[in-house]
Protein backbone atom coordinates (compact mmCIF):
# COMPACT_ATOMS: atom_id res chain seq x y z
CA UNK A 1 0.00 0.00 0.00
CA UNK A 2 1.43 3.34 -1.09
CA UNK A 3 0.94 5.79 1.79
CA UNK A 4 3.76 8.24 1.26
CA UNK A 5 4.29 10.97 0.46
CA UNK A 6 0.68 12.06 1.03
CA UNK A 7 -0.19 15.16 -0.96
CA UNK A 8 2.88 15.23 -3.18
CA UNK A 9 2.12 16.34 -6.72
CA UNK A 10 -1.59 17.03 -6.20
CA UNK A 11 -3.08 20.31 -7.53
CA UNK A 12 -4.94 21.04 -4.27
CA UNK A 13 -3.77 22.03 -0.80
CA UNK A 14 -3.97 18.94 1.41
CA UNK A 15 -3.56 21.11 4.52
CA UNK A 16 -6.18 23.63 3.50
CA UNK A 17 -8.01 25.26 6.43
CA UNK A 18 -10.19 27.85 4.71
CA UNK A 19 -13.15 27.91 2.36
CA UNK A 20 -12.71 28.57 -1.34
CA UNK A 21 -13.73 31.75 -3.12
CA UNK A 22 -15.28 31.81 -6.61
CA UNK A 23 -12.30 33.77 -7.90
CA UNK A 24 -9.85 31.17 -6.62
CA UNK A 25 -11.69 28.28 -8.27
CA UNK A 26 -13.08 29.88 -11.42
CA UNK A 27 -10.97 32.81 -12.62
CA UNK A 28 -8.59 31.60 -15.37
CA UNK A 29 -4.85 31.74 -14.65
CA UNK A 30 -2.16 32.99 -17.03
CA UNK A 31 -2.55 29.77 -19.02
CA UNK A 32 -6.36 30.15 -19.23
CA UNK A 33 -6.81 27.26 -16.81
CA UNK A 34 -9.30 27.23 -13.95
CA UNK A 35 -8.29 25.58 -10.68
CA UNK A 36 -11.72 23.97 -10.45
CA UNK A 37 -11.12 22.17 -13.75
CA UNK A 38 -7.52 21.26 -12.94
CA UNK A 39 -8.55 19.58 -9.69
CA UNK A 40 -11.43 17.76 -11.37
CA UNK A 41 -9.14 16.40 -14.11
CA UNK A 42 -6.75 15.16 -11.42
CA UNK A 43 -9.68 13.61 -9.54
CA UNK A 44 -10.82 11.77 -12.67
CA UNK A 45 -7.30 10.63 -13.53
CA UNK A 46 -6.86 9.09 -10.07
CA UNK A 47 -9.92 6.88 -9.89
CA UNK A 48 -12.66 9.45 -9.25
CA UNK A 49 -15.10 7.68 -6.91
CA UNK A 50 -12.48 5.04 -6.01
CA UNK A 51 -9.30 7.10 -5.67
CA UNK A 52 -5.96 5.33 -6.03
CA UNK A 53 -3.28 4.96 -4.86
CA UNK A 54 -3.96 5.03 -1.13
CA UNK A 55 -1.90 8.21 -0.78
CA UNK A 56 -4.34 9.98 -3.12
CA UNK A 57 -7.36 8.68 -1.18
CA UNK A 58 -5.85 9.92 2.08
CA UNK A 59 -4.91 13.27 0.56
CA UNK A 60 -8.51 13.81 -0.56
CA UNK A 61 -9.86 12.88 2.85
CA UNK A 62 -7.44 15.19 4.66
CA UNK A 63 -8.41 18.00 2.28
CA UNK A 64 -12.12 17.39 2.97
CA UNK A 65 -11.49 17.39 6.72
CA UNK A 66 -9.85 20.80 6.43
CA UNK A 67 -12.72 22.19 4.37
CA UNK A 68 -15.23 20.84 6.87
CA UNK A 69 -13.33 22.51 9.73
CA UNK A 70 -13.31 25.77 7.78
CA UNK A 71 -17.08 25.50 7.28
CA UNK A 72 -17.59 24.82 10.99
CA UNK A 73 -15.53 27.89 11.82
CA UNK A 74 -17.81 29.90 9.56
CA UNK A 75 -21.20 28.67 10.81
CA UNK A 76 -20.49 27.46 14.35
CA UNK A 77 -19.74 24.08 15.89
CA UNK A 78 -22.65 23.77 18.32
CA UNK A 79 -26.35 23.47 17.44
CA UNK A 80 -27.03 26.78 19.18
CA UNK A 81 -24.36 28.57 17.14
CA UNK A 82 -25.72 27.18 13.90
CA UNK A 83 -29.25 28.22 14.75
CA UNK A 84 -27.96 31.76 15.19
CA UNK A 85 -26.68 31.71 11.59
CA UNK A 86 -30.26 31.16 10.30
CA UNK A 87 -29.20 28.93 7.42
CA UNK A 88 -31.84 27.96 4.85
CA UNK A 89 -31.07 25.58 1.99
CA UNK A 90 -32.43 25.91 -1.53
CA UNK A 91 -32.42 22.63 -3.47
CA UNK A 92 -33.38 21.98 -7.06
CA UNK A 93 -32.36 20.80 -10.49
CA UNK A 94 -28.89 21.42 -11.92
CA UNK A 95 -30.23 21.26 -15.49
CA UNK A 96 -32.48 24.32 -15.18
CA UNK A 97 -31.39 26.84 -17.82
CA UNK A 98 -30.83 30.49 -17.08
CA UNK A 99 -33.56 31.46 -19.53
CA UNK A 100 -36.11 29.20 -17.82
CA UNK A 101 -38.84 30.69 -15.63
CA UNK A 102 -37.80 28.34 -12.82
CA UNK A 103 -34.35 29.95 -12.72
CA UNK A 104 -35.93 33.36 -12.21
CA UNK A 105 -38.23 31.97 -9.51
CA UNK A 106 -35.29 30.41 -7.63
CA UNK A 107 -33.31 33.65 -7.89
CA UNK A 108 -36.18 35.53 -6.28
CA UNK A 109 -36.33 32.92 -3.52
CA UNK A 110 -32.65 33.50 -2.73
CA UNK A 111 -33.14 37.27 -2.79
CA UNK A 112 -36.17 37.16 -0.48
CA UNK A 113 -34.47 34.81 1.97
CA UNK A 114 -31.43 37.07 2.22
CA UNK A 115 -33.72 40.09 2.59
CA UNK A 116 -35.35 38.28 5.51
CA UNK A 117 -31.92 37.84 7.16
CA UNK A 118 -31.40 34.16 6.34
CA UNK A 119 -28.09 32.77 5.11
CA UNK A 120 -28.76 30.94 1.84
CA UNK A 121 -26.96 27.63 1.27
CA UNK A 122 -27.01 25.55 -1.91
CA UNK A 123 -25.23 22.63 -3.49
CA UNK A 124 -23.08 25.13 -5.34
CA UNK A 125 -23.73 23.98 -8.89
CA UNK A 126 -25.68 25.40 -11.84
CA UNK A 127 -29.44 25.59 -12.31
CA UNK A 128 -31.58 26.26 -9.24
CA UNK A 129 -28.49 26.28 -7.04
CA UNK A 130 -26.83 29.04 -9.03
CA UNK A 131 -30.06 31.03 -9.15
CA UNK A 132 -30.49 30.97 -5.37
CA UNK A 133 -26.89 32.05 -4.76
CA UNK A 134 -27.36 34.81 -7.35
CA UNK A 135 -30.46 36.09 -5.56
CA UNK A 136 -28.65 36.11 -2.22
CA UNK A 137 -25.64 37.84 -3.76
CA UNK A 138 -27.84 40.76 -4.88
CA UNK A 139 -29.79 41.14 -1.64
CA UNK A 140 -28.48 44.69 -1.14
CA UNK A 141 -29.97 45.70 -4.47
CA UNK A 142 -33.63 46.18 -5.44
CA UNK A 143 -35.32 43.30 -7.21
CA UNK A 144 -35.12 45.22 -10.50
CA UNK A 145 -31.35 44.71 -10.42
CA UNK A 146 -31.84 40.99 -9.86
CA UNK A 147 -34.13 40.89 -12.89
CA UNK A 148 -31.44 42.66 -14.94
CA UNK A 149 -28.80 40.18 -13.81
CA UNK A 150 -31.00 37.21 -14.77
CA UNK A 151 -31.58 38.77 -18.18
CA UNK A 152 -27.84 39.23 -18.66
CA UNK A 153 -27.10 35.63 -17.68
CA UNK A 154 -29.79 34.34 -20.03
CA UNK A 155 -27.58 35.33 -22.97
CA UNK A 156 -25.41 32.30 -22.03
CA UNK A 157 -28.19 30.01 -20.83
CA UNK A 158 -26.65 26.56 -20.58
CA UNK A 159 -23.29 25.55 -19.11
CA UNK A 160 -23.30 22.35 -21.16
CA UNK A 161 -23.24 24.26 -24.46
CA UNK A 162 -20.39 26.73 -23.88
CA UNK A 163 -18.72 26.50 -20.48
CA UNK A 164 -16.40 29.48 -21.03
CA UNK A 165 -19.20 31.79 -22.16
CA UNK A 166 -21.32 30.58 -19.25
CA UNK A 167 -18.66 31.40 -16.63
CA UNK A 168 -17.67 34.64 -18.34
CA UNK A 169 -21.28 35.78 -18.08
CA UNK A 170 -21.21 34.92 -14.37
CA UNK A 171 -18.25 37.19 -13.72
CA UNK A 172 -19.75 39.91 -15.90
CA UNK A 173 -22.63 39.97 -13.41
CA UNK A 174 -20.28 39.82 -10.41
CA UNK A 175 -18.17 42.67 -11.77
CA UNK A 176 -21.23 44.75 -12.62
CA UNK A 177 -23.24 44.27 -9.42
CA UNK A 178 -20.79 43.17 -6.73
CA UNK A 179 -19.66 42.95 -4.03
CA UNK A 180 -21.55 39.81 -3.14
CA UNK A 181 -23.86 39.63 -0.15
CA UNK A 182 -23.12 36.46 1.90
CA UNK A 183 -24.25 32.98 0.91
CA UNK A 184 -22.81 29.47 1.00
CA UNK A 185 -22.14 26.94 -1.76
CA UNK A 186 -21.31 23.32 -0.98
CA UNK A 187 -20.41 21.53 -4.23
CA UNK A 188 -18.32 18.43 -4.95
CA UNK A 189 -15.81 17.24 -7.52
CA UNK A 190 -17.90 14.05 -7.59
CA UNK A 191 -20.04 16.09 -9.98
CA UNK A 192 -17.10 18.05 -11.34
CA UNK A 193 -18.37 17.98 -14.90
CA UNK A 194 -20.81 20.75 -13.88
CA UNK A 195 -19.30 24.11 -12.94
CA UNK A 196 -19.30 25.57 -9.46
CA UNK A 197 -21.35 28.75 -9.54
CA UNK A 198 -19.68 32.12 -9.07
CA UNK A 199 -22.24 33.84 -6.83
CA UNK A 200 -21.65 32.50 -3.30
CA UNK A 201 -19.18 34.30 -1.06
CA UNK A 202 -17.91 31.07 0.51
CA UNK A 203 -17.48 27.67 -1.14
CA UNK A 204 -16.97 24.43 0.78
CA UNK A 205 -16.00 22.10 -2.04
CA UNK A 206 -15.42 18.44 -1.21
CA UNK A 207 -14.19 15.37 -3.02
CA UNK A 208 -16.66 13.20 -1.09
CA UNK A 209 -20.24 13.56 -2.27
CA UNK A 210 -21.51 11.68 0.79
CA UNK A 211 -19.89 14.20 3.13
CA UNK A 212 -21.21 17.05 1.01
CA UNK A 213 -24.81 15.77 0.79
CA UNK A 214 -25.08 15.00 4.48
CA UNK A 215 -23.32 18.17 5.50
CA UNK A 216 -25.50 20.45 3.42
CA UNK A 217 -28.74 19.14 4.91
CA UNK A 218 -27.18 19.09 8.38
CA UNK A 219 -26.46 22.82 8.47
CA UNK A 220 -29.84 24.02 7.16
CA UNK A 221 -31.43 24.23 10.59
CA UNK A 222 -33.88 26.96 9.56
CA UNK A 223 -35.24 24.83 6.77
CA UNK A 224 -35.01 23.86 3.14
CA UNK A 225 -36.95 25.08 0.11
CA UNK A 226 -37.25 22.45 -2.60
CA UNK A 227 -37.64 24.08 -6.00
CA UNK A 228 -38.19 22.18 -9.23
CA UNK A 229 -35.81 19.25 -9.62
CA UNK A 230 -35.53 15.59 -10.48
CA UNK A 231 -34.55 12.40 -8.69
CA UNK A 232 -31.63 13.93 -6.79
CA UNK A 233 -33.84 16.68 -5.37
CA UNK A 234 -36.43 14.11 -4.31
CA UNK A 235 -33.68 12.09 -2.63
CA UNK A 236 -32.65 15.17 -0.67
CA UNK A 237 -36.27 15.80 0.34
CA UNK A 238 -36.80 12.28 1.67
CA UNK A 239 -33.43 12.37 3.46
CA UNK A 240 -34.35 15.69 5.08
CA UNK A 241 -37.71 14.26 6.11
CA UNK A 242 -35.94 11.31 7.76
CA UNK A 243 -33.64 13.74 9.59
CA UNK A 244 -36.67 15.62 10.91
CA UNK A 245 -38.44 12.43 11.93
CA UNK A 246 -35.40 11.08 13.81
CA UNK A 247 -34.22 14.50 15.07
CA UNK A 248 -30.76 13.64 13.76
CA UNK A 249 -29.36 17.14 14.29
CA UNK A 250 -31.05 18.08 17.59
CA UNK A 251 -33.74 20.19 15.92
CA UNK A 252 -36.34 19.94 13.20
CA UNK A 253 -36.51 22.48 10.39
CA UNK A 254 -39.29 23.34 7.92
CA UNK A 255 -39.50 21.70 4.50
CA UNK A 256 -41.15 23.89 1.87
CA UNK A 257 -42.03 22.48 -1.54
CA UNK A 258 -42.15 25.19 -4.21
CA UNK A 259 -44.42 24.26 -7.10
CA UNK A 260 -47.87 22.76 -6.57
CA UNK A 261 -47.86 21.01 -9.94
CA UNK A 262 -44.49 19.40 -9.22
CA UNK A 263 -44.77 18.56 -5.54
CA UNK A 264 -48.43 18.16 -4.58
CA UNK A 265 -48.21 14.34 -4.44
CA UNK A 266 -44.88 14.38 -2.57
CA UNK A 267 -46.13 16.93 -0.06
CA UNK A 268 -49.28 14.94 0.76
CA UNK A 269 -47.34 11.68 0.96
CA UNK A 270 -44.89 13.10 3.49
CA UNK A 271 -47.64 14.87 5.40
CA UNK A 272 -49.59 11.64 5.68
CA UNK A 273 -46.51 9.78 6.91
CA UNK A 274 -45.32 12.50 9.34
CA UNK A 275 -46.02 12.55 13.06
CA UNK A 276 -47.76 15.38 14.90
CA UNK A 277 -44.50 17.31 15.41
CA UNK A 278 -43.14 17.01 11.87
CA UNK A 279 -46.45 17.51 10.04
CA UNK A 280 -46.73 21.27 10.76
CA UNK A 281 -43.16 21.74 9.51
CA UNK A 282 -44.22 20.78 5.97
CA UNK A 283 -45.53 23.39 3.54
CA UNK A 284 -46.54 23.59 -0.11
CA UNK A 285 -46.08 26.91 -1.92
CA UNK A 286 -46.57 28.19 -5.44
CA UNK A 287 -44.65 31.49 -5.44
CA UNK A 288 -41.34 32.69 -4.00
CA UNK A 289 -43.22 34.92 -1.57
CA UNK A 290 -45.30 32.00 -0.29
CA UNK A 291 -42.21 29.82 0.09
CA UNK A 292 -40.30 32.39 2.14
CA UNK A 293 -43.37 33.17 4.22
CA UNK A 294 -43.64 29.46 5.03
CA UNK A 295 -40.04 29.44 6.27
CA UNK A 296 -40.64 32.51 8.43
CA UNK A 297 -43.81 30.97 9.90
CA UNK A 298 -42.07 27.72 10.87
CA UNK A 299 -39.11 28.29 13.21
CA UNK A 300 -36.91 25.29 14.04
CA UNK A 301 -38.20 22.95 16.72
CA UNK A 302 -35.64 21.64 19.21
CA UNK A 303 -35.56 18.04 20.41
CA UNK A 304 -38.43 17.41 22.81
CA UNK A 305 -40.40 20.50 21.79
CA UNK A 306 -43.73 20.65 20.01
CA UNK A 307 -44.09 22.66 16.83
CA UNK A 308 -47.18 24.30 18.35
CA UNK A 309 -49.01 27.01 16.49
CA UNK A 310 -47.31 28.46 13.43
CA UNK A 311 -46.41 32.13 13.48
CA UNK A 312 -49.25 34.25 12.14
CA UNK A 313 -47.48 37.61 11.73
CA UNK A 314 -45.95 37.10 8.30
CA UNK A 315 -44.30 40.29 6.96
CA UNK A 316 -46.48 41.89 4.26
CA UNK A 317 -43.72 41.61 1.66
CA UNK A 318 -44.00 37.84 1.83
CA UNK A 319 -47.76 37.44 1.72
CA UNK A 320 -49.28 35.88 -1.36
CA UNK A 321 -49.30 38.29 -4.28
Task: Write the DSSP string, 75-116.
Answer: H-SSHHHHHHHTEEEEE--TT--TTSHHHHHHHHHHHHHHHT
SS3 call for 261: helix
* Sequence-ordered list of residues with C-beta below 8 angstroms from that of 226, at least 6 positions apart, any chain: 91, 92, 233, 236, 237, 255, 256, 257, 258, 263
Going from the C-alpha of 212 to that of each of 71, 189, 204, the distances in angstroms are 11, 10, 9
119-122/87-91 β-pairing: parallel
* Sequence-ordered list of residues with C-beta below 8 angstroms from that of 225, at least 6 positions apart, any chain: 88, 89, 90, 91, 109, 113, 256, 258, 291, 292, 295
How far, in Å, CA of 317 to CA of 304, rounded?
33
pLDDT score of 119: 98
Cβ-count burial of 76 within 10 angstroms (0-12 exposed, 13-18 middle, 19+ buried)? Answer: middle
pLDDT tens, N- to C-terminus, the chain (321 residues): 555 578 889 999 999 999 999 999 999 998 999 999 999 999 999 999 999 999 999 999 999 999 999 999 999 998 889 999 999 999 999 999 999 999 999 999 999 999 999 999 999 999 999 999 999 999 999 999 999 999 999 999 999 999 999 999 999 999 999 999 999 999 999 999 999 999 999 999 999 999 999 999 999 999 999 999 999 999 999 999 999 999 988 899 999 999 999 999 999 999 999 999 999 999 999 999 999 999 999 999 987 676 654 543 344 444 333
Which has the closest alpha carbon to 208: 197, 216, 198?
216
pLDDT score of 228: 95
pLDDT score of 202: 98
> pTM (2 decimals)?
0.93
Q: Write down how long the chain is.
A: 321
pLDDT score of 168: 96
The shares of helix, strand and coil residues in the chain, as percent rounded to the nearest 5, are 50, 10, 40
How far, in Å, CA of 287 to CA of 320, rounded?
8
How far, in Å, CA of 35 to CA of 172, rounded?
19
pLDDT score of 307: 66
Domains of the chain: 79-318 (3.40.50.450)
Which has the closest alpha carbon to 217: 182, 257, 249?
249
Angle at 194 between CA 156 and CA 43, to 5 degrees: 145
Amino acid sequence: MDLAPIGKGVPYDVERRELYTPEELLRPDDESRRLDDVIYEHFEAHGARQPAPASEALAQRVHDYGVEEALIAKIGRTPAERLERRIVGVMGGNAVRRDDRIFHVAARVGWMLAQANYLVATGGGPGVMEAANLGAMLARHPMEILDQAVELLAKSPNWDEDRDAYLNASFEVVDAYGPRSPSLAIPTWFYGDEPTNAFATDIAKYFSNGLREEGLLAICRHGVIFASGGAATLQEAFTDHAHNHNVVYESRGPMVFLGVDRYDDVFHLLRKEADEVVRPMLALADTPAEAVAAIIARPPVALGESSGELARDVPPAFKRQ
